[in-house]
Amino acid sequence: MDAEIIAVGSELLLGQIVNTNAQFLSRKFAEMGVNVFYHTVVGDNDKRLAAAIEIAESRANLIIFTGGLGPTKDDLTKETISRQLGKKLVYDEEALHSIQEYFRKTGREMTENNKKQALVLEGAQVLPNDHGMAPGMVVTIKGITYMLLPGPPKEMEPMFLSYGFKSIMNKLKSHDRIESKVLRFFGIGESLLETKIDDLLENQTNPTIAPLASDGEVTLRITAKHSSREKCEEMIAEAEKEILERVGQYYYGSNDTSLVKELVKELTVRNLTISAAESLTGGMFQEYLTTIPGAGKVFKGGIVSYTNDVKANVLKVSDKTISEHGVVSSQCAMEMAQHARELLDAEVGISFTGVAGPDEQEGKPVGTVFIGISFRNGETKSERLNLVGSRAQNRIRSVKYGCHYLLRHLTQ
Amino acid sequence: MDAEIIAVGSELLLGQIVNTNAQFLSRKFAEMGVNVFYHTVVGDNDKRLAAAIEIAESRANLIIFTGGLGPTKDDLTKETISRQLGKKLVYDEEALHSIQEYFRKTGREMTENNKKQALVLEGAQVLPNDHGMAPGMVVTIKGITYMLLPGPPKEMEPMFLSYGFKSIMNKLKSHDRIESKVLRFFGIGESLLETKIDDLLENQTNPTIAPLASDGEVTLRITAKHSSREKCEEMIAEAEKEILERVGQYYYGSNDTSLVKELVKELTVRNLTISAAESLTGGMFQEYLTTIPGAGKVFKGGIVSYTNDVKANVLKVSDKTISEHGVVSSQCAMEMAQHARELLDAEVGISFTGVAGPDEQEGKPVGTVFIGISFRNGETKSERLNLVGSRAQNRIRSVKYGCHYLLRHLTQ
């Protein structure tokens, strides 16, 4: 099966947004063993879209469209395809109902052009939109499969994963399965990790091993291809064993986990509650923690002490500490963690204080960060980081180091 | 001049990287008044690249290539184009020299395949690479201009800005400028906003008006084209005036601003400090506020009161309120805002309490959110939201509504 991804939207051609949808879908197709030979981006223009469709039909038998399913006049993907394929557009009752429901619930006025979103190609399989109003659809005509997905990634990605993926898998002739597993590492750079498994990367064919770095984390995706799922898993397990023998000390989890998910998991199994005191991270640690449903079982809350007087008056950091060591110090981090734990009556306290940038503070350079952790048994310690990055990078990396620091302490 | 951007690289078709080069170049072309009608991505494959070039020649007179200029075997952009155009590849002495210099300086051994990077199309204008080894080039044949740029953005972007930009400007017959302005709206859906300016969208030619929606916000990009910058700005101002007469009450700012930036700005000019109490948003409001350098001037800090006992014991929400109205209530939101303001000694307090999901709470459905604001003069009020979305959407939209609610109060 040869695929082409056509993104429809003038905002892409004006450079207002970047085509992350093509990347997301290309990754999925690579995992599924579907070749993607072209990406095309075309504007909200009927003629040029029609031309792009004809070209795609000449070189692909799976054409994925993203964008142009919305309510407005320049959303014309469905309309153009319907003309190209000579397929009528008909109302999908379920979609129409859920659109009406949406407006009823939000108490907003439903305009006529919203109904347009419930129109689908006659005879197409409808892909429900669980995060928006415009449904997707799949239809196969003369050996070519057309899949229409919405433009907003928040709608397109879950729609593809929940419905589009399966619908394509069912059409795949090859019975080779593709299984993959992502190993997650923290505390080691991409290039150092690569040198440690250089020979494995060199000689890879099946399974393949693909490194990827982001925000101080490195992942290795192991992908195996075989007719039997068991055999795929064997091949992956073998590669995983080899890799972890070399860099196992940096490994923290696999697949869709994250440092913060692992932290919530470890706190939950140990039946520990946590509270936080944040300065440079401004609440980011707590925000991350609470992205996870069920975090409420372990997370009590915390203090964002962005100014020194809040550190002194609310968190009760001693004047002596602030005057002698400053707020960017190991002593301050430890007091913040301890007092956050006591004030919110939690078993564990964690704190973040440091210089996010752009300006230095207390004569300490940008990137100087102290993380404190404190436990009900009185044990309180801190770790110093010297980060090199932008303000945003320093904040997110501080949060990740904090999760990792506490994780190490809990699991060792 | 009609342009097409062709990105060459299998890593794009595998989803390993996203095509930010197309976005960067599209923005520049919009500013230059060059139409970009298509983006194409093709892999490191001679046949398919040749086919893509033929298609581009049929619909564009400016074709920009990114990628495939490197030393390895699968870097074949130059080679393919040279065959397509019947133009020899010849060594560029300067490029060859700077490559040799590079290896001399780094003390690394120069392998033969590195010389390949100094090959350029005969008769082409060479674009020096100040941040890498492979030079770019521009050549015009039969009325079509071909520009080859390297793939790494760190090399491509400065090369285009320093050399490519001027070379295209010189070829432009029309010296039309393109100016655009983005108007930002909150509290109105995309389709409702559209119906209110329907006739303007219908009759748009120059300036054009393009709507875009994301995370509960809607933007309108007004783009004007004219030889004089002043005339462009006049045309934009005229369209803006028309639009704001219809939907001005939902307008909050223009271009690169955001609700949280506007909030920090308004607090700063009014010399007001703010503190927050967050429940369902788990610190997201404070995290957003502190992404902005200089937020420290107005933001003192806050409490994340994720559990009821923290609301009661740290934020001092009265037992009566919790038992009679619950923590998801207008009364609780108002007490949270007021006590956060008092506890952290700020002029303004804001609070977020509600049901993010996935489960309902206190018999209140997912999406029920109360936002409280409190001022030093004692004025304290709250607003109820009924959001329809995922847990993540409900959290981010609550934060945006909170910013907007407080902004309205400050500016009215």
CB contact under 8 A, B287 and A290: no
Same domain (yes/no): B395, B324:
yes
pLDDT value of position B114: 83
The CA distance from A303 to the nearest CA of chain B, in Å, is 5
Residue B181 exposure: Cα atoms within 13 Å on the Cβ side: 17
Tens digits of residue pLDDT in B396-409: 999 999 999 999 99
Rounded to an integer, the average pLDDT of B28-43 is 91
Q: Which residue of A has its CA nearest to B308?
A: A300
Same domain (yes/no): B242, B138:
no
Do the beta carbons of residue A344 and residue B310 sit within 8 Å? yes
| Least CB–CB distance from A300: residue in B43, B307, B343 | B307
Same domain (yes/no): B263, B200:
no
What are the distances in angstroms from CA B160 to CA A109, B2, B66, B92? Answer: 47, 18, 11, 19
Of B222, B254, B286, the position where a domain reaches its end is B254
Query: A260-269, B218-227, B335-344: which range is least confident on average?
Result: B218-227
Nearest Cα neighbor of B78 from B147, B31, B32 is B147
What is the CATH number for B25? 3.40.980.10
Confidence of residue B174 (pLDDT cuts 50, 70, 90): low
Same domain (yes/no): B193, B300:
no
Confidence of residue B172 (pLDDT cuts 50, 70, 90): confident
What is the CATH number for B203? 3.30.70.2860
Alpha helices in B248-329 (DSSP H): 259-269, 284-289, 308-313, 319-325
Confidence of residue B175 (pLDDT cuts 50, 70, 90): low
| pLDDT at A372 > cutoff 90 | yes
| Least CB–CB distance from B301: residue in A24, A48, A307 | A307
Same domain (yes/no): A287, A381:
yes
CB contact under 8 A, B192 and A109: yes
Same domain (yes/no): B107, B238:
no
- Contact list in B for residue A300 (CB cut-off 8 A) is 306-307, 309-310
Rounded to an integer, the average pLDDT of A208-235 is 83
Q: What b-and-e string marks burial along B357-366, b requiring 16 or more CB atoms within 10 Å of the CB? A: beeebeebeb
Total domains present in chain A: 3
Confidence of residue B108 (pLDDT cuts 50, 70, 90): low
Same domain (yes/no): B235, B123:
no
What is the CATH number for A308? 3.90.950.20
Of B171, B189, B206, the position where a domain reaches its end is B171
| pLDDT at B126 > cutoff 90 | yes
Alpha helices in A186-257 (DSSP H): 190-196, 198-202, 229-247
Q: Which of B20, B21, B41 to mutate to test the interface with A (most CBs of A within 10 A)?
A: B41
Q: Which residue of A has its CA nearest to B290?
A: A282
Q: What's the order of all strands across the beta sheet hosting A299-305?
A: A380-386, A368-375, A348-354, A274-278, A299-305, B299-305, B274-278, B348-354, B368-375, B380-386
Same domain (yes/no): A183, A301:
no
Radius of gyration of chain A (CA): 26
Rounded to an integer, the average pLDDT of B203-223 is 83
Tens digits of residue pLDDT in B355-381: 998 889 999 999 999 999 999 999 999
CB contact under 8 A, A39 and B390: no
Do the beta carbons of residue B358 and residue B349 sit within 8 Å? no
CB contact under 8 A, A19 and B16: no
Q: Which residue of A has its CA nearest to B281?
A: A287
Query: B97-111, B160-174, B364-378: which range is least confident on average?
Result: B97-111
| Least CB–CB distance from A12: residue in B15, B39, B51 | B39
Supply the mean pLDDT for chain B: 92
pLDDT value of position A173: 64
CB contact under 8 A, A304 and B305: no
Decide which of B213 and A337 is more confident.
Answer: A337
pLDDT above 70 covers a percentage of chain A that reads 98
pLDDT above 90 covers a percentage of chain A that reads 71
- Contact list in B for residue A62 (CB cut-off 8 A) is none
Asked, as a colleague might, if the bond just before A358 is cis with ω within 30 of 0, I would say yes
Rounded to an integer, the average pLDDT of A231-255 is 94
Bridge partners of B41?
A39, B7
Q: Residue A345 corresponds to which tokens in the numbers above?
A: 């009556």
The type of residue at B227 is S
The type of residue at B177 is R
Same domain (yes/no): A246, A266:
no
Q: Is the ipTM beyond the 0.95 threshold?
A: no
The type of residue at A78 is K
Q: Which of B13, B351, B388 to mutate to test the interface with A (most CBs of A within 10 A)?
A: B13
Which residue in the block uniquely carries the two structure tokens 């008006």?
A: B209
- Contact list in A for residue B214 (CB cut-off 8 A) is 152
pLDDT value of position A289: 96
Decide which of A402 and A217 is more confident.
Answer: A402
Q: Cα(first)–Cα(last) distance of chain A, in Å?
A: 48
CA atoms of A154 and B188, how far apart (whole Å): 19
Most trustworthy range by pLDDT among A375-379, B33-37, B101-105, B112-116:
A375-379
| Least CB–CB distance from B344: residue in A59, A113, A314 | A314
Do the beta carbons of residue B137 and residue B147 sit within 8 Å? yes
Nearest-10 Cα torsion for A359, A364, A368, A371: -120
pLDDT value of position A30: 84
Indicate the SS3 state at residue A306.
Answer: coil
CB atoms within 10 A of CB B122: 12
Rounded to an integer, the average pLDDT of B114-139 is 92
Nearest Cα neighbor of A21 from B316, B138, B41, B144 is B41
CB atoms within 10 A of CB A292: 18
Q: Tally C-beta pairs within 8 A across A and B.
A: 263
Q: Which residue of A has its CA nearest to B285?
A: A283
The type of residue at A64 is I
pLDDT value of position A239: 96
Indicate the SS3 state at residue B308.
Answer: helix
Bridge partners of A42?
A8, B38
Query: A3-7, B120-124, B152-156, B334-338: which range is least confident on average?
Result: B152-156
Of B205, B229, B254, the position where a domain reaches its end is B254
Q: Which residue of B has its CA nearest to A29?
A: B14
The CA distance from B120 to the nearest CA of chain A, in Å, is 26
What is the Cα B337 distance to its own chain's centre? 32
Q: Which of B44, B191, B343 to mutate to test the interface with A (most CBs of A within 10 A)?
A: B191
- Contact list in B for residue A303 (CB cut-off 8 A) is 301-304
User: Residue B365: what are its φ and ψ, rounded to 5°?
Assistant: -70, 155
- Contact list in B for residue A43 (CB cut-off 8 A) is 37
Same domain (yes/no): B267, B143:
no
Indicate the SS3 state at residue A340.
Answer: helix
Host domain of residue A379: 259-411
Tens digits of residue pLDDT in A136-193: 999 999 999 999 999 999 899 999 988 998 889 888 766 677 788 889 999 887 777 8
Do the beta carbons of residue A399 and residue A284 sit within 8 Å? yes
CB contact under 8 A, B310 and A290: no
- Contact list in B for residue A286 (CB cut-off 8 A) is 282-283, 304, 306
Same domain (yes/no): A19, A150:
yes
pLDDT value of position A387: 86
Supply the mean pLDDT for chain A: 92
- Contact list in A for residue B389 (CB cut-off 8 A) is 131
Same domain (yes/no): B241, B348:
no
Residue B252 exposure: Cα atoms within 13 Å on the Cβ side: 29
Q: Which residue of B has its CA nearest to A131?
A: B389
Tens digits of residue pLDDT in A257-298: 999 999 999 999 999 999 999 999 999 999 999 999 889 999
pLDDT value of position B107: 67
Rounded to an integer, the average pLDDT of B122-148 is 93
Radius of gyration of chain B (CA): 28
Q: Which residue of B has its CA nearest to A36?
A: B13
